[in-house]
Amino acid sequence: MQRTPLYDEHVALGARMGDFAGWLMPIQYPTGIPQEHLAVRQDAGVFDVSHMGQVRVRGPRATAFLSWATLNDPARLRHGQGQYTLLANDRGGLVDDLYLYRDADEDYLVVANASNVEAVVAQLRALADAGAYEAVVRDESASWALLALQGPAAAAKLDRLASADLTAVRKNRMIETALSGMPVRLARTGYTGEDGFEVFCRPVDAPPVWRLLLEAGATPCGLGARDTLRLEAGFPLFGHEFDAASNPLCTPFAWVVKDKPAYGLDALRAADCRRRLVGLVLEGRGIARDGYHVVDDAGDRVGRVTSGTVSPLTRRSIALAWIDAELAADGARVAVEIRGQPVPATVTPPPFYAG
């Protein structure tokens, strides 16, 4: 099991540690998932996401290469700007969802899910070679620690620590600056639905940076709260909403797929959206968990839940599910089988809270 540079910090804080994609990660701290969740919605929380992968892509035609290799359009990025993007396979599904930052004209930093780093590197290398793009694809994951400071007070807390003026950093922009003399990259993005920054730093600096953020008043948050926050915001998690058979054109993330040639795009376009990814709000008690069946009025199975939780903000039971396209309209009525009982649910576009 791999450990991040912050492992000892988590243990010292009394975190409950658990396996996530081969990494021993903090699931929650003693205050508990709902309190961590609310801290991010109301103030600021900090997450260790150093398990995520960083992949460098550079070369004389790196932009042309990534334009072919990914479904969003890197040519739209300015220097120091990032975008959410997707890597498709050639069978109408996905390899991973990614964040892509443009450092220079032909120099990019890709942030991949921990479980998929090897697959991402392998596919990017294969596509670079096949297209003779002369792109260098290098796994830099061991060179980076990654923290996420998220919440409405995140920018104000970080601004007091940073050498640069963070109020000028717009969403999806990345800057290089220093926190107490430690070099960092700050990207105004995140996975919680809140304003905030992802903090890229050297592994050796991760413990002091973490402590700085805690001293600034950020609540330490584990992967449990990260999951309830992203779900409340309606964001997909690879391995749940997205996998090797998921067509992003049948999801609320179809906007990511731009109208240009890209690897795997023909297969995605050729497929029908027999099922669609939707949000569900349940009317009864119980959590709709990954793998639970969605049923229609007649009790026939019409889909499957991919993630579910109870919103710590609204206390409503919420879920994401792939369901038959004819039942996927906003307001449509379905039910989720929970322990053998159909619990009524309404198709509801995320986010599941008033932002």
Partner 1 sequence: MNTPDHLRYTPSHEWATEPDDGVVTVGITDFAQDQLGDVVFVELPEVGRQLAAGEAAAVVESVKTASDIYAPVGGEVVEVNQALLDAPEAINTDAYGEGWLFRLRVADGAAGNARLDAAGYRAVAEEG
Please report, as ranges, the residues that interact with partner 1 according to CB under 8 A: 16, 28, 32-34, 224, 228, 285-287, 289, 309-310, 315, 317, 339
CB of 165 to partner 1, least distance (A): 38
Let me know: does 48 contact 147? Beta carbons within 8 Å: yes
CB of 34 to partner 1, least distance (A): 5
- Closer residue to partner 1 in complex, CB, 33/69: 33
CB of 315 to partner 1, least distance (A): 8
CB of 286 to partner 1, least distance (A): 6
Angle CA(94)–CA(253)–CA(307) in degrees, nearest 5? 75
- Closer residue to partner 1 in complex, CB, 175/343: 343
- Closer residue to partner 1 in complex, CB, 38/213: 38
CB of 17 to partner 1, least distance (A): 13
Let me know: does 309 contact 316? Beta carbons within 8 Å: no
- Closer residue to partner 1 in complex, CB, 190/224: 224
What is the distance between the alpha carbons of residues 111 and 188, in angstroms, rounded to a whole number? 14
Strand 182-187 and strand 333-338: the pairing is unpaired
What is the distance between the alpha carbons of residues 157 and 61, in angstroms, rounded to a whole number? 39
CB of 275 to partner 1, least distance (A): 25
Please identify which residue in the block is written with the tokens 């002091």.
208
What is the DSSP secondary structure assignment for residue 316, as one 8-state letter? Answer: -
- Closer residue to partner 1 in complex, CB, 123/228: 228
Tokens of 232: 């409340």
CB of 312 to partner 1, least distance (A): 8
Helices (H), 56-110: 62-69
Alpha-carbon distance values, 50 to 193, 256, 264 (Å): 20, 25, 29
Among 213, 97, 109, residue whose Cα is nearest residue 151? 213
- Closer residue to partner 1 in complex, CB, 92/193: 193
- Closer residue to partner 1 in complex, CB, 51/226: 226
CB of 297 to partner 1, least distance (A): 24
- Closer residue to partner 1 in complex, CB, 246/317: 317
What is the distance between the alpha carbons of residues 66 and 103, in angstroms, rounded to a whole number? 13
Name every residue whose Cβ is closer than 8 Å to that of residue 89 and which is 6 or more positions away in sequence.
95, 123, 244, 264, 267
CB of 344 to partner 1, least distance (A): 15
- Closer residue to partner 1 in complex, CB, 61/316: 316
Name every residue whose Cβ is closer than 8 Å to that of residue 156 and which is 6 or more positions away in sequence.
none
What is the distance between the alpha carbons of residues 340 and 96, in angstroms, rounded to a whole number? 33
What is the DSSP secondary structure assignment for residue 171, as one 8-state letter? Answer: T
Among 171, 298, 309, 186, residue whose Cα is nearest residue 237? 309
